[in-house]
Amino acid sequence: MSTTVQPHAAAALKQKIADKTALVGIVGLGYVGLPLVRAFEAAGFRTIGYDVDPSKVASLAMGRSFIKHIPSDWIARCVEQGTFEPTADMNRLDEADAVLICVPTPLSDSRDPDLTYVEKTTAAVAESLRPGQLVVLESTTYPGTTRDVMLPILARTGLKPGEDFFLAYSPEREDPGNPDFSADRIPKVVGGLEPNSLELAVDLYRHAVVEVIPVTSCEVAEACKIIENTYRSVNIAMVNELKMLFDRIGIDVWEVINAAKTKPFGYQAFYPGPGLGGHCIPIDPFYLSWVARKHGMPTRFIELAGEINTGMPRYVIARLMEALNEHGKPLRGSEICVLGLAYKRDVDDTRESPSFELMEQLLAAGAAVTYSDPHVPKLPKKRDYDFSGMESQELTPEFLGSLDAVLIATDHEAFDYETIVRHAPLVLDPRNATRDVTEGREKIYKA
């Protein structure tokens, strides 16, 4: 990118970024924020991490990670060397030359965007905004948030965007637990409020990630993230619907997908499951449908995909009832162990996990429910469900033999599927996790 920045504040920040003396502040030290700290620290920047949760800050300050794929010894080393300083003191936001915001963007109870975290953080940044600061929103949101929600809050300071301070949007594409793509290896899309903001944000990220893709506006960058997640949601819904059809006509959907994905172009494999989970796919498309409603446009794909995906737990429970029925048992009174509480394989994140919905429906039907998840030893209290206090069961032959069925909600690698099938009387497998099991296949029911 050419050197076009004009005002003094921009030129000074550009220089600090170029010689890596810029202090990079990351707000929100969660699944997205911490990997980002890591990427900038590894690139040679000093970083400061802000979080409103004092227990997280205290844990980091003691060199302890609370995210499985971010090692504690790395945090301890950075804290000791002073390349990463965690703090809960938002009055120190003016110390950072770049403020990268990674706070939650959930849905409200009425499934509308809840931007309270973004608004509060922006207000905290505005409190001490000074000339020469670059503010970048990384949280997933609908197109227009940076300009329509953040800019007015920052502009109330009297400082001028593009001259005194700089504002950009760059969506986080973190894939927790994916060993092939850590934050620094994922190309980053960046949109700026105006040319100076874009140039400074691109300069900064170029140091830390493998590739930066500048786009012409914050809105394009915001829409880019939403299109990626909507694409996943719609394709997963399609394959979930086809799974139900194929089940009915006796075709194994997994075999079909494995065959289809041999096509070297024009097809990308998506896999069915017991429902959608995680912080992104079940939530983000609804940010877009909310904007669409404001513009009087229906988003039928999004709504339909949401409907199909949220209906999957009910389908899985119906399949479990059929399977138990074949064994002469009702669901009421049966002992069912749900395997995997995290929303996807080999992670410890239970946000929006369909396992909770499955457990809820099992309990409502009168089943006795336990769970096993090596990554989630004890259940946290959730906003929608309260299973707090439940503990993960060890899958011993005796325990498995005492059950009426196991339900594989999440296909963690740590599970020993041969042992599970050998000792459990019935295995419901909506993930095709037992595909390589050789003995006792008559006990496996796909769903």
Ligand X SMILES: NC(=O)c1ccc[n+]([C@@H]2O[C@H](COP(=O)([O-])OP(=O)(O)OC[C@H]3O[C@@H](n4cnc5c(N)ncnc54)[C@H](O)[C@@H]3O)[C@@H](O)[C@H]2O)c1
Q: What is the dihedral of CA 322, 324, 330, 331, to 10 degrees?
A: -90
Contacts of 176 (CB under 8 A, 6+ apart): 31, 67, 69, 347, 349
Q: Which residues are identified as catalytic?
A: 280
Q: Identify the three-state secondary structure at position 366.
A: coil
| Integer Cα distance of 168 and 152 in angstroms | 14
Shortest separation between residue 18's beta carbon and ligand X, angstroms: 28
- How far are the Cα atoms of 240, 242, 243, 262, 315 from residue 249, in angstroms, in the given order? 15, 11, 10, 23, 16
**Helix (H), strand (E) at residue 27:** strand 23-27
Are residues 217 and 228 in contact, defined by beta-carbon separation less than 8 angstroms? no
Distance of closest approach, residue 361 Cβ to ligand X, in angstroms: 26
Q: Please say which residue, 16 or 173, places its beta carbon nearer to ligand X.
A: 173
Nearer to ligand X, 370 or 410 (CB): 410
CB 167 within 8 A of CB 99: no
Residue closer to ligand X (CB basis): 201 or 316: 201
Residue whose CB is nearest to ligand X in the complex, by number: 30
Nearer to ligand X by C-beta: 32 or 239? 32
C-beta of 172: minimal distance to ligand X in Å? Answer: 4
Q: Where in 198-298 does DSSP place strands (E)?
A: 212-215
Which SS3 state, helix, strand or coil, does residue 209 take? coil
Dist CA 49 CA 125 (whole Å): 13
Q: Are 50 and 87 in contact, with CB atoms under 8 Å apart?
A: yes
Rg, the chain, Cα only = 24
Q: Of the two residues 51 and 346, which places its CB atom closer to ligand X in the complex?
A: 51
Query: C-beta of 56: minimal distance to ligand X in Å?
Result: 5
Cβ of residue 374: shortest distance to ligand X, in angstroms? 20
Question: Min. distance of Cβ 240 from ligand X in angstroms?
Answer: 21
- What is the binding site for ligand X (CB under 6 A)? 27-33, 50-53, 56, 102-105, 117, 120-121, 139-140, 172-174, 176, 279-280
| φ and ψ at residue 47, rounded to 5 degrees | -125, 150
Which residues are paired to 100 by β-bridges? 26, 136
Q: How far is the CB of 394 from ligand X (least distance, A)?
A: 28
Q: Please, which residue, 116 or 268, has the CB nearer to ligand X?
A: 116
Q: Which is nearer to ligand X, 139 or 350 (CB)?
A: 139
C-alpha to C-alpha distance for 279 and 106, rounded to whole angstroms? 8
Which lies closer to ligand X via its Cβ, residue 32 or residue 433?
A: 32
- Closest CB 138 distance from ligand X, rounded Å: 6
